Chains A and B, each alone.
Chain A
Amino acid sequence: RKEVEQDPGPFNVPEGATVAFNCTYSNSASQSFFWYRQDCRKEPKLLMSVYSSGNEDGRFTAQLNRASQYISLLIRDSKLSDSATYLCVVNIYSGGYNKLIFGAGTRLAVHP
């Protein structure tokens, strides 16, 4: 089983749609969770951290379910500029230090 699993997509949605991405992780001891955004042939950039109580940043809402080891990202009122790959990222403690494990990403394509 992969440490971080995501639906690869692509998700093709019209502008204005609401879209949700899911992610599962295997290490129950993970403490920190993030969503990164990666545009085609560019570097990943932090979109938002995910907190236990869930958090919202404008049109973006992240949820964490520790019992199910599940993270979600909801995007409301999709814009063309939201087209990108969304990477689910989880920290694990291994070999004496913390490191981030990236999912392979879910691709979103927003069309007019």
Chain B
Amino acid sequence: DAMVIQNPRYQVTQFGKPVTLSCSQTLNHNVMYWYQQKSSQAPKLLFHYYDKDFNNEADTPDNFQSRRPNTSFCFLDIRSPGLGDAAMYLCATSRDGLAGEYEQYFGPGTRLTVT
């Protein structure tokens, strides 16, 4: 059974047209992450939620926003997608990893194309 679910798996949007990617989890983990991964590059952390506390990476563009209405769901909003935002977007969850020692479980990703 899927534990971290991402929808849609593939998303095509037009330049400048807002898009929302969703992630849900059945693990009841309190930490949720959004990563951006471009071809042949490392996953890059955009932000994460520790429970309801939002933590934004310093180099995450303002164009990227996130919402976490409850433990199970987390959304990534891209307000005005540019061609450079085309990538795989990965959602991950983990338990209370205060020492970073807990495994992160990834969803299958959403592949975003910007035309």
Contacts and interface: CB of A to CB of B under 8 A. Distances in A.
Contacts, number: 60
Interface of B (DSSP majority class): loop
Interface residues of A, number: 27
A46 B40 contact: no
B45 A99 contact: yes
B109 A99 contact: no
Interface of A (DSSP majority class): strand
Contact of A46 (B44, B90, B103): B103
Contacts of B104: 46, 100
Contacts of A49: 101, 103
Contact of B101 (A31, A103, A104, A105): A31
A98 B95 CA distance: 12
Interface in B76-111: 88, 90, 97-101, 103-104, 106-109, 111
Interface of B: 40-45, 48, 50, 55, 58, 88, 90, 97-101, 103-104, 106-109, 111
